[in-house]
Amino acid sequence: MNDIESIIATAKKTIENEYKAVQNLMSLVDKKFAEVVKLIYASKGRVVVTGVGKSAIIANKIVATLNSTGTPSIFMHAADAIHGDLGIIQKDDVVICLSKSGNTPEIKVLVPLLKNGSNTLVAITANKSSFLGTQSDYVLHAHVEKEACPNNLAPTTSTTTQLVMGDALAVCLLEMRGFSSNDFAKYHPGGALGKKLYLRVRDIAAGNLIPQVNPETSIKDAIVEISEKLLGITAVIEENRIIGVITDGDIRRMLSKHDNIGSLKAKDIMSANPKRIQAGELAVDALELMEKNDITQLLVEENNQYIGVIHLHDLIKEGIL
């Protein structure tokens, strides 16, 4: 077997191993899991997620997912907890502890300290009979037969199952809270994802010039308007209402048909009833409308009044596309 074939085989074996472990989790989600979800949902405090080593990294990710979907959470490193960070935990918090073996030295020191308080302790572990498993109020069993690592040492499959169990908790809580895309946008205001959820057409159109002519405008002046406003388009309006549009393409088609354009007016070459979008619509909806109609600009109106143009390049610039 050459190197390429060996690499592909190892990769597939790793994925298959982790796939089977994740698939097995479905048989381990039981009434206790549901009780943990309801407990967290009813809690007046936060979720404190802790672990050590690779489990600590997964704990950090679970915290990030919970926070972003409406469940206030905080990470506490198990090793740091016994050196002062235990003060992070408040009386109404629910503590989730991640550990594959459930018997690491840090966990054995930390768990009795947690039990001294009134906080509910939830374990996510592959070993229900471990110290952590037997001392916790609830156990979410993230069982694994073996790690994907050929030596069965490096945390691979075990951390994947921990991560999936955490995601399952977060999604259940999200649904219980009725967490909507608008709520999601409040927690994700930055980046392309946030912009897709909150950026409105008016926000983008406001940064553009507003090309416009009236039906009697000469073709020469219409061309100048399109050129000066740099959007490849101009609206044709009457009493600030859209009645048509002239694009670069309309100009090219006109020039191919007419030798003498001196007598032509905007109304003679405009396209009536152009595609438009309301200012309050989401920018991502503008993109969908452009793609559906194979166009690169849309006229924008508000309360039946023309207010500007949104261009495909604007959406690209904002990271919507």
pLDDT tens digit sequence for 200-218 = 999 999 999 999 999 999 9
Residue 194: the pLDDT is 66
Nearest by Cα to 161 from 25, 299, 16: 25
Distance CA 216, CA 229 (A): 19
Which pLDDT belongs to residue 247? 94
Indicate if 174 and 139 belong to the same structural domain: yes
Give the pLDDT mean for 134-154: 92
Please check the confidence at residue 187 and state whether its pLDDT lies above 60: yes
Confidence band for 259, pLDDT divided at 50, 70 and 90: confident
| 217 and 115 fall within a common domain | no
The answer to whether residues 23 and 110 belong to one domain is yes
Annotated binding residue 143: no
pLDDT value at residue 82: 84
| Mean pLDDT (whole number) for 215-244 | 95
The last residue of one of the domains, among 150, 179, 208, is 179
Q: Which domain holds residue 229?
A: 198-317
Rounded Cα–Cα distance for residues 129 and 278 (Å): 61
Report CA-CA distances (Å) from 245 to 242, 276, 297, 320: 8, 10, 11, 25
**Token couple for 297:** 């600009």
| 90 shares its domain with 145 | yes
pLDDT of residue 84: 85
**CA dist., res. 230 & res. 183, Å (int):** 36
| Domain total of the chain | 2
Mean pLDDT of 51-56: 95
How large is the greatest C-alpha to C-alpha distance in the chain, in angstroms?
92
Alpha carbons 99 and 161: distance in angstroms, whole number: 11
pLDDT of 75 > 70? The answer is: yes
pLDDT at 83: 87
d(C-alpha 204, C-alpha 201), whole Å: 5
Same domain flag for 134 and 241: no
Is the domain of 236 the same as that of 266?
yes
Whether 187 is covered by a domain: the verdict is no
- 56: domain CATH number is 3.40.50.10490
CATH label of the domain that carries residue 232? 3.10.580.10
Q: In this structure, which amino acid lies at residue 139?
A: V
Q: Are 143 and 130 in contact (CB under 8 A)?
A: no
pLDDT tens digits for 97-115? Answer: 999 999 999 999 999 999 8
Rounded Cα distance, 202 and 186, in Å: 19
Asked if pLDDT for residue 185 goes beyond 80, the answer is no
- Using the predicted structure, report yes or no on whether residue 132 has a pLDDT greater than 80: yes
Give the residue carrying structure tokens 């608008």. Answer: 182
Instruction: Say if 125 falls within a structural domain.
Output: yes
In angstroms, the CA 283 to CA 205 distance is 10
Burial of 293 (0-12, 13-18, 19+ CB in 10 A): exposed
Distance CA 200, CA 57 (A): 36
268 with 135, same domain: the answer is no
Is the residue at 101 inside a domain? Answer: yes
Same domain as 100, residue 37: yes
- What's the pLDDT score for residue 319? 83
Q: What percent of the chain has pLDDT over 70?
A: 95
Q: Which residues of 114-130 are buried (b: 16+ CB within 10 A; e: fewer)?
A: beeeebbbbbbbbbbeb
Confidence of residue 281 (pLDDT cuts 50, 70, 90): very high
Residue type, 9: A
What is the average pLDDT score of the chain? 92
